[in-house]
Structure formats: C-alpha cells, structure tokens
Structure 1
Amino acid sequence: MTTLLLAEHDNVSVKDATSKAVTAAKLLGAEVHVLVAGYGCGAAAEAVAKLDGVGKVLIADAPAYEHMLPEPLADLVASLAPSYDALVAPSTTTGKNVMPRVAALLDVMQISDMMKIIAPDTFERPIFAGNVIETVRSKDAKKVITVRTTAFPATGSGGSAPIVAVDAVADPAISSFVGEELSKSDRPELTMAKIVISGGRALQSRENFTKYIEPVADRLGAAMGASRAAVDSGYAPNDWQVGQTGKIVAPDLYIAVGISGAIQHLAGMKESKIIVAINTDQDAPIFEVADYGLVADLYTALPELTAELAKLGK
C-alpha cells in the first residue's frame, strides 16, 4: 500500500504533527510519500526529506497553497490520488479542514482520528469523547484518513528522500486569505509541550492564572492550558483550551488545577503519561484518571509548589 501524507508546515519548518503522522503512515504499507504544498516552501520540503521512512517528497510550490486554504489543497490531493492507496493527514485544524473535502471529491468515506492500525483496511478510532474505541473497516479502494498524532511517536531523522516537483492544479477561488492574528509566546506550543499545566474555572479570573499558574509554568518550562469553562468565562485565551472542542495533548506530565474533569476535558488530555490533579473536591472525576491527586486549595498549594521548585533550582 503506497501512502500519500499531507505535510503540515509553515513554508520553512515542519510541524511535529507531520513527524508523528509519518510513523502512522509507515504502518499502513510499503512506501510513504509526503506532499509539501506551499509557497516558497523548499526549506520545509528539505526538512521532510530527512525524516526516517519517507520514500519521496512531492513539492507543490504555488501562491494558491501559501496559506493552506482547504479548497485548493483538497483539489491538489485529489488530483494525486490515482497513484495512491491511502491519503493521510494529521488530525489538526488543517487536516480536519482538507481531508473531508478530499473524501467528498473521491466519493469515499473518511476514517477520522485514527489511533491504531489493525490491518490495511481496519482501524481503531475514538468516539463519544474517547469513552468508546470504535473498530472500523473500510471497503473503499482508497482510504482517506486523519491521524490522532498523540497516539503515535515522532519518527526519527536520517532520511534522504528525493524531492520531486508536481504541478499545481487550477485554484477554485472559492475562498481567499484575508489575514491572521498569531499569538506569540516564549513557552512551548501547547500540543508539543512535554509538560502542561492547565487551570479551570476555580481560578476565578485571568489575573489568577497569571498569579498562580504562570509561576509554576515558568519553573517547569511548561505550556499553559485551560478548561473550556475557564476559556468561556474569559479567564484564558481560546488557544489554551484543552479538550474535545479544543486541543488534544499528551505530554509527559499534565497538571490539572481546579479542573473537575468533565468528559469534554478528559478527552483532550487523558493520554498524558503522568496526570497530576489538584482540587478541593475529593470526588471530582479528574481523580479517576489522575496518577497523583492532591485534595487541597489551589491558592495554597500552587505557591507552595512554586517555592519548593525554587529550592530545587527549577
């Protein structure tokens, strides 16, 4: 089975989600080709070529692909589909935007959030906020798949795949890029961080996130996250939201502070390697998935934790 993977990149560097999706694509079959579609994206293509397991890199360099708009990307992927058995993308905002369009153009089903490959036509994926793992079998000749990247490790480096240019397809001009507002931070990106500390509605204000959560994050070099309730209350920005309707994370350490553990939130973080929960309610659902639980007032516990980390030189 030859697989085509749509790379996620910023025209210069390759996102970690791509590296993890390559691991999944390698399990699908014999050869993995990666499509780098962008504008002035030669550096990104060279980075992809160095990933272990990549057999060939296809580069489509054209203005229509500069901002990865879904319609021109979907048309491009569909035009390349005849040469492949499977079409894959990370289950990111871009992947979720592009691949359903590809599936529609090819008139096949999509396998979303694939987290395990049982056979070339049989896969596991989570449903009901991850409370049920569904096994699906596709009879379609071509498989269109988005990969839950938290379920796969990043592939290694050391590859030397050839880079081949492919022609751009006609831009359907259905949508156009207007602008973007990017949040900049010295902290690790939430979905890539090895340590994440998240706060819930119990923080009561944006100022308390700064006063109590931020010092711990600074000491640990952690990314900051939040529950949906905290985001909806205006205590934290939208791009911090962890959960089914936010970002899916699986860090080495996840610290949940003042988060009760609603199903929606657990779906976004329960694959973390170690989970620490701090909550005043000993019956909070978060303790059912936590490896370590502390029943305490966060306004006392977090300053004490910050002080202890300072003693350790963190």
Structure 2
Amino acid sequence: MAEVLVLVDHLDGEAKKSTFELLTAARRIGEPSAVVVGAAGSAAKLKDSLAGYGAAKVYAAESEDAGTYLVTPEVNALVAVAEQASPAAVLVPATARGKEIAARVAVRLGSGLLVDAVDVAEDGSVTQSIFGGGFIVKSKASKGAPVISLRAGSVEPEQASGAAAEETVSAPAVDAAKSAKITGNEPIVGGDRPELTEASVVVSGGRGVGSAEQFEVVEKLADSLGAAVGASRAAVDSGYYPQQFQVGQTGKTVSPQLYIALGISGAIQHRAGMQTSKTIVAVNKDPEAPIFEITDYGIVGDLFNVAPQLTSEVQGRKG
C-alpha cells in the first residue's frame, strides 16, 4: 500500500485536531505517514497521538530552521520525503500557511494541486465547495501525486492503530537569501475558549451587533455553549472584534458541528468561510438576509432579544 504524507500541524508538543482529520482522510487513499517539522524532540512528543490515528511512520524533520524561517522548512521536508517515498498523495491543512506550503510542494514535485478540499476519495480525487458555496465540484490531479489542502472540520477524525515508526529526515538547509525569516512571535490572546478552526461550536457576530461593547452578547452565548467566538469581516472592519477571529474568504474557514450567526447578513465572502458547517443557525432582523438561504434554522428577530434567551435556556439546561 502506497504511503500518503500528512503534514503535522502542532503547537507546544500537541497535534491540532486538523492533523487527525488529515490522517483519517489519508487512510482512504493509502498508508498514512506523518511528517513532523519542528525543533529537536518534537516528533517524540507527538508520536503516541499520531499512532492513535493510524500513522504508520513518523518522519522527523527537526532543526533550528523550523522555528527561524517561515514555510520553507516544511516545504523542504515534504519534498525530501516525497522524493524518497513516492507517495500516493500529500495532505496539508487548508490554513493560510498550509496553502502556501501545498503550492510550493506541488511546484517542486511537478504534481497537481487540489486546494480547499472538503472531502477526499479513495482514488485521490477531492470534493470542493467553490464560488462561495454556489457549486460543488469533483477534482482529480492529472499529473503526479496530488498535493491536497483539506479544510478543517471537513472530515470526522477516527482513531486507528498505527506503528508510528520514527525515521529521521535529512532535508536541505534553508537558503536564507530566498526565505522569509521569523523575527518575532506574539502569542494569540484567546482566553479559555477553543481555537476557532478547531471548535465544534462557533458563535459569530456581524455588523448587526452594533459596537465592540455590545459584542459581549455574542461572547456570553458562546461561553454558555463552550464555543469559539467568530466575527464577520464587516464586524472586524468596524472595529467590533479583532481580525484574528474573522470568519470568511479573507479570514478563517470553519466547519463546526454547530455555527450560530448573530446579526450577520450572509455576504458571499462570509458564507465561503462557514457554509460547510454541519448545522447553521442564524438570527437577523431582515427576513431577506442572504444568510437564511443556507441556514438549517433561521430566526427573524432582534439578536439582543433572541441571544440572551438562548443563553439563558442553555445555562438552565446545564444547571
């Protein structure tokens, strides 16, 4: 069975949920092999969790470059392993960083690039949601092993037993003259809420919230549900909420089990980032708001009346 390379997205010694989704998707095509790019000792910390989701091998590409340069260490590692293993496919998370890595790897390998997949089939073909969800298409690479970026939340992670045999990768050193250097890191302040792209429930607010101070109505509902908080581009541009929480085509793509939109009209830019959510609930005063075209449950009403009632009901049931 051919190997399928999976780029591990990890932080502070823990693999992100998107990595387990990639390993699950990879098992449909072949035998998943995890590629860990990081500082010395990174692979050892991740080995057990990767084995729990079926990783047959763990390729350790460890060096100081991983924390010093942007994107290039991952590209070099994936290309080095691919040239050695001749994989059936290469899977990476469809984050801004992951898409950059995927594109460069595809060029270096001379392979087809399949972007923003929401599902992966046994033959390496993918399903994509395009034009803001207006169309669903099936795509397959016509040349080389496909390099696939998969949206977070698109595949339900399923545990499986894997040997996770560790192998050291000798990737070429980064050419400093041709690479972007990381000059500093600033931690994201997210409080105790789940990370936006990892959360199973997301509550987002839009322009209809009205101000940064009033965004607490969104936060209170999110906290009652143990959810992440998101915001539309209109809300972010208006200064209601930080840009790191923006959901949409120019923000983050989410696909939770439950997505609640408060005061969001549903412009195509926003829908492109959340329409693959399993269940969508929207609250908006405008009965003609485009968001209602894709909702499972729509409430025409004032979010400042509806959201507190929802919060109270959730808290009451938990109590």
Could you tell me the TM-score, scaled by structure 1's length?
0.92
Computed over aligned residues only, the root mean square deviation of the Cα atoms, in angstroms, reads 1.9
Match of 1:195 in 2: 201
Moved more, 262-271 or 275-284: 262-271
Moved more, 118-127 or 14-23: 118-127
Alignment of 1:55-134 (within 5 A): 55-66=56-67, 69-82=70-83, 83-85=85-87, 86-118=89-121, 120-134=123-137
Q: Distance in 2 between matches of 1:297 and 1:189?
A: 28
**Kept after mapping to 2: 8 A contact 1:90/1:148:** yes
Q: 1:160 to 1:49 in 2, by over 3 A?
A: farther
- Return the letter of the residue paired with 1:115: V
Alignment of 1:3-82 (within 5 A): 3-29=4-30, 31-40=31-40, 41-66=42-67, 69-82=70-83
SS in 2 for 1:149: coil
Q: Percent identity?
A: 40
Q: 1:123 to 1:215 in 2, by over 3 A?
A: closer
- Return the letter of the residue paired with 2:206: G
Q: 1:27 to 1:57 in 2, by over 3 A?
A: same
SS in 2 for 1:214: helix
CA displacement at 1:43 relative to structure 2: 4.1
The one-character-per-residue Cα deviations of 1:269-295 (angstroms, maximum 9, x if unpaired) are: 222222211111111111122222211
The one-character-per-residue Cα deviations of 1:248-283 (angstroms, maximum 9, x if unpaired) are: 212222111111111111122222222211111111
CA displacement at 1:52 relative to structure 2: 2.6
The one-character-per-residue Cα deviations of 1:74-97 (angstroms, maximum 9, x if unpaired) are: 122112222223222111232112
Q: Distance in 1 between matches of 2:281 and 2:128?
A: 26
**Kept after mapping to 1: 8 A contact 2:152/2:254:** no
**Kept after mapping to 2: 8 A contact 1:11/1:44:** no
Q: Distance in 2 between matches of 1:67 and 1:273?
A: 38
Alignment of 1:228-239 (within 5 A): 228-239=233-244
Match of 2:221 in 1: 216
Matched, 1:166 2:169: yes
**Kept after mapping to 1: 8 A contact 2:114/2:140:** no
Q: 1:77 to 1:306 in 2, by over 3 A?
A: closer
Any gaps of 5 or more consecutive residues in structure 1?
Answer: none
Matched residue pairs, number? 312
CA displacement at 1:168 relative to structure 2: 3.4
Match of 2:212 in 1: 206
Could you tell me the TM-score, scaled by structure 2's length?
0.91
**Kept after mapping to 2: 8 A contact 1:55/1:162:** yes
The one-character-per-residue Cα deviations of 1:220-244 (angstroms, maximum 9, x if unpaired) are: 2111111111111111111111112
Any gaps of 5 or more consecutive residues in structure 2?
Answer: none
